[in-house]
Amino acid sequence: MFDISFGSDNHSGVDPRIMKALEKANQGYCPAYGDDPITERVLKQLETAFGGDCEAFIVMTGTGANVLSLQSMLRSYNAVICVNSAHINVDECGAVQKNTQARLVVIDSPNGKLTPEMIEPRLMGNRDQHHSQMNVVSISQSTEYGTLYSLAEIKALADFAHSKNMYLHVDGARLANACAALNCNFIQLCKETGVDIVSLGGTKNGMLFGEAIISYRREVTEDLRFYRKQCNQLFSKMRFISAQFEAYLENELWRENALHSNRMAKLMASKLEAIPCVRLSQVPQVNAVFVVLPREMIEPLQNKYYFYTWDEARDEVRLMCSFNTTEAQIDDLCGTIRGLAG
């Protein structure tokens, strides 16, 4: 256990308001597997929050959300295009490939983002029976590198994908942080840009566990509930996920928490930038700060604070802020770095 962790927004605890909702749901008895009144209510709330004419599904994990979303749009001879740093490529242990039998076609990107121009050359094989057929473009919003797609950039990707008879999937583990940073809502970010299917993450922004999938393509996700069972993502006591989402959506708690973590990242970046031996490698757009540190400083810092080295060759580390990160914690980190710098 660390007193302070900048390793991941997953390392934080649960927002007290969400914990209170869990305690309230822990009363009496409820039908299982989503046949409870809380889940029925929350599914409608999610569908409304994403603009209607869509269908929401509750799942247990982010990996499960990505696998189920992609499985709905893939056959075994298909392929998914993503960036090299995508969570589905780096941190999901081949889950997409195992469950869908489809390939991932990875494109190197220095900022974690894709453009139509980067994708176009990879589609040449879609005319050839010897090649996997590209069927989905998958992006993360915000990206694993802490960068953001503008609404116009997402729309351009959606329009491009659709012109090639492909789908656009959005890994929204930090969708709340993206909306907070862009000063928009889920409707503007997803429905109005033409996204086909998106996950809404909660565990990185104050929830205990649980994610949601929102599909604007009912015709391709009509069997998703069966895949959900097969993929071990149908939670028995679903009311405990749904109760969290109800609190998360109420008065846009998701936005409040995301605004705070984004703000703490900008504060951290400004304080670190003032230390001569520290160099920002990305301008922080959400709640992630990427910095290059003197190599000899990294291990002593990791003895006191939990964080990850992002690129060992460059001595680049990732520092994540959470809904409950404090200015005092940031000052503690910066003070320690100054002390190590002498």
Q: What is the DSSP string of 98-127?
A: HHH-PEEEEE--TTS---HHHHGGGGGGGG
Specify which residues 138 forms β-bridges with.
169
Count: domains in the chain:
2
- In this structure, the answer to whether residues 243 and 305 fall within a common structural domain is no
Note whether residue 232 is domain-resident.
yes
Note whether residue 11 is domain-resident.
no
- In this structure, the answer to whether residues 226 and 317 fall within a common structural domain is no
- Check residue 183 and give its pLDDT: 98
Helices 239-249/37-49 angle, 10° precision: 40
* φ, ψ (nearest 5 deg) of residue 80: -115, 130
Note whether residue 5 is domain-resident.
no
Note whether residue 10 is domain-resident.
no
Dist CA 187 CA 193 (whole Å): 9
- In this structure, the answer to whether residues 203 and 311 fall within a common structural domain is no
| pLDDT single digits (tens) 181-224 | 999 999 999 999 999 999 999 999 999 999 999 999 999 999 99
CATH number, domain containing residue 298: 3.90.1150.10
CATH number, domain containing residue 146: 3.40.640.10
Note whether residue 312 is domain-resident.
yes
8 A C-beta contact, residue 35 and residue 236: no
SS3 170: strand
Please state, in angstroms and as integers, the Cα–Cα distance from residue 338 to each residue in 40, 62, 198, 294, following that order. 53, 37, 42, 12
Among the candidates 234, 252, 270, a domain finishes at 252
- Check residue 342 and give its pLDDT: 81
- In this structure, the answer to whether residues 197 and 277 fall within a common structural domain is no
Q: Which residues contact 167 (CB under 8 A, 6 or more apart)?
A: 73, 135, 136, 137, 161, 196, 197, 217, 220
- Check residue 115 and give its pLDDT: 98
> What 8-state DSSP symbol labels residue 276?
T
8 A C-beta contact, residue 28 and residue 336: no
**Segments of the chain with pLDDT less than 70:** 1
Helical H segments across the chain, by residue range: 16-25, 37-49, 62-71, 87-90, 95-100, 116-119, 151-163, 175-182, 186, 218-221, 224-230, 239-249, 253-273, 295-302, 327-341
- In this structure, the answer to whether residues 230 and 146 fall within a common structural domain is yes
Note whether residue 9 is domain-resident.
no
| Average pLDDT across the chain, whole number | 96
- In this structure, the answer to whether residues 301 and 240 fall within a common structural domain is no
Among the candidates 217, 252, 287, a domain finishes at 252
Among the candidates 229, 252, 275, a domain finishes at 252
- In this structure, the answer to whether residues 241 and 259 fall within a common structural domain is no
Note whether residue 111 is domain-resident.
yes
- In this structure, the answer to whether residues 217 and 258 fall within a common structural domain is no
CA atoms in the 13 A half-sphere facing the CB of 145: 21
Dist CA 149 CA 172 (whole Å): 12
- In this structure, the answer to whether residues 211 and 240 fall within a common structural domain is yes
> What 8-state DSSP symbol labels residue 205?
G
Dist CA 27 CA 153 (whole Å): 46
The pair of three-digit structure tokens given for residue 306, joined into one six-digit string: 């939990």
- In this structure, the answer to whether residues 146 and 283 fall within a common structural domain is no
Dist CA 208 CA 214 (whole Å): 20
Domain hosting residue 228, numbered range: 27-252
- In this structure, the answer to whether residues 38 and 101 fall within a common structural domain is yes
* Pairing of the two strands 279-280 and 211-215: unpaired
SS3 178: helix
- Check residue 3 and give its pLDDT: 81
pTM (two decimals) = 0.96
Dist CA 234 CA 25 (whole Å): 18
- In this structure, the answer to whether residues 216 and 260 fall within a common structural domain is no
Dist CA 56 CA 86 (whole Å): 23
Closest CA to 214 of 237, 245, 235, 240: 245
Note whether residue 117 is domain-resident.
yes
How many residues comprise the chain?
342
